[in-house]
């Protein structure tokens, strides 16, 4: 039974990895962020690689010979933690510059081929424990922003529990049968993919929003020398009167230039005074306008309305609308007809 359950989660993991590779890592958030994109792709590939090997171990009769060399498994195993670190650091820290010492995080990947297969899992789990502690501490530093990300932080807490579970499994390697260990390990990886999919389904731009929250949490205030109330009034005028949100290429830097502040100042201003990130702020204006058009222009297609208010695709429009209104735009229009 446990083997069948593990097999289902393995299939789900590989499918999710491919789907995230095609969708999430091609979005605009990664256009100017090559390192997190590469790290994210590396993370997906290593987790999918582990799951493929787990399937091989759970169903040895379906394969002839040891076609997956232990070196491949070691590389996947030791790539997970560093890839996760480089992916997360960009979004969870206000400053993501990398000093030469940061590249020491690549050492586990370099030594992976030379570690005996029997020692690989305990050593990798020990290294992984350090990254789990780092993640817990980093999330704790974001506690001032927890009201904005209640569900996301809960999901990250579940990811933390999954990571702890995997570490505990690692302690029992000597007394567990290989089949039981690989089955439970595969299930936990599958659960991690499931939680990730839920987070991205609810908040497709979660990485940008968390990055903005981190910037507001860690950075020293940059608002001392600007007229906060006056700047907020200018922003409000640009959004309500000029409908700047309709511009699909509107960026934080563009709006900052229009109100004569730096992008960093504008980000802090929106985060601290309005309690949301720029992405969410912009999304709410677009959805409010879309709601008006859905009611007042019943003959206009849902897609045309989404494009008119600044979204670049139907999928982005639907995801944003469902996040804010908890329903699809078509359903919203139908309900408002009665």
Q: How far apart are CA 319 and CA 109, in angstroms?
A: 36
- The pLDDT, as a whole number, for residue 195 is 82
CA 267 to chain centre: 20
- The pLDDT, as a whole number, for residue 247 is 87
CATH 3.30.110.40 corresponds to the domain 2-212:
no
Q: Are 221 and 230 in contact (CB under 8 A)?
A: no
Alpha helices in 59-116 (DSSP H): 70-92, 107-111
Check pLDDT > 70 for residue 68.
no
Q: How far apart are CA 164 and CA 184, in angstroms?
A: 13
Q: Are 22 and 200 in contact (CB under 8 A)?
A: no
Check pLDDT > 60 for residue 148.
no
17 in helix, strand or coil? helix
Q: How far apart are CA 268 and CA 270, in angstroms?
A: 6
Classify burial at 178, counting beta carbons within 10 Å of its beta carbon; exposed 0-12, middle 13-18, buried 19 or more. exposed
Delimit the CATH 1.10.10.60 region(s) of the chain. 221-337
Summarised one tens digit per residue, pLDDT across range 278-321 is: 888 899 999 999 999 999 988 889 999 999 999 888 888 888 88
Radius of gyration from C-alpha coordinates of the chain: 23
Indicate whether this model's pTM tops 0.85: no
Total Cβ atoms within 10 A of residue 66: 9
Q: How far apart are CA 222 and CA 94, in angstroms?
A: 13
* Mean local confidence (pLDDT), 51-59: 88
- The pLDDT, as a whole number, for residue 290 is 93
- The CATH superfamily of 221-337 is Homeodomain-like (1.10.10.60)
* Mean local confidence (pLDDT), 190-196: 87
* Mean local confidence (pLDDT), 164-184: 76
Residue 235, phi then psi, degrees to nearest 5:
-60, -45
Delimit the CATH 1.20.1070.10 region(s) of the chain. 2-212
């Amino acid at each position: 039974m446990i083997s069948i359950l593990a097999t289902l989660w393995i299939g789900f993991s590989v499918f999710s990895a491919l789907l995230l590779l095609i969708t999430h890592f091609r979005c605009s958030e990664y256009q100017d962020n090559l390192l997190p994109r590469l790290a994210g792709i590396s993370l997906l590939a290593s987790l999918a690689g582990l799951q493929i090997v787990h399937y091989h171990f759970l169903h040895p009769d379906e394969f002839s010979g040891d076609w997956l060399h232990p070196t491949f498994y070691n590389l996947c195993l030791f790539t997970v933690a560093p890839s996760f670190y480089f992916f997360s650091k960009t979004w969870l820290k206000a400053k993501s510059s990398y000093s030469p010492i940061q590249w020491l995080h690549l050492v586990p990947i370099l030594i992976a081929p030379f570690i005996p297969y029997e020692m690989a899992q305990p050593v990798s789990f020990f290294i992984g424990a350090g990254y789990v502690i780092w993640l817990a501490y980093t999330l704790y530093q974001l506690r001032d922003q927890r009201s904005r990300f209640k569900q996301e932080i809960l999901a990250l807490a579940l990811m933390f529990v999954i990571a702890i579970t995997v570490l505990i499994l690692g302690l029992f390697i000597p007394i567990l049968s290989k089949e039981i260990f690989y089955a439970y390990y595969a299930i936990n990886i599958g659960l991690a993919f499931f939680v990730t999919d839920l987070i991205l389904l609810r908040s497709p731009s979660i990485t940008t929003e968390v990055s903005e929250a981190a910037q507001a949490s860690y950075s020293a205030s940059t608002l001392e020398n600007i007229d906060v109330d006056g700047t907020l009034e200018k922003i409000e005028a640009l959004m309500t009167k000029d409908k700047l949100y309709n511009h699909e290429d509107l960026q934080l830097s563009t709006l900052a230039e229009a109100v004569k502040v730096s992008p960093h100042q504008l980000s802090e201003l929106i985060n601290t005074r309005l309690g949301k990130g720029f992405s969410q702020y912009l999304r709410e204006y677009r959805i409010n306008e879309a709601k008006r058009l859905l009611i007042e222009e019943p003959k206009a297609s849902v897609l045309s309305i989404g494009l008119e208010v600044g979204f670049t695709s139907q999928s982005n429009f639907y995801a944003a609308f469902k996040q804010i209104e908890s329903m699809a735009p078509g359903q919203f229009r139908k309900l408002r007809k009665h």
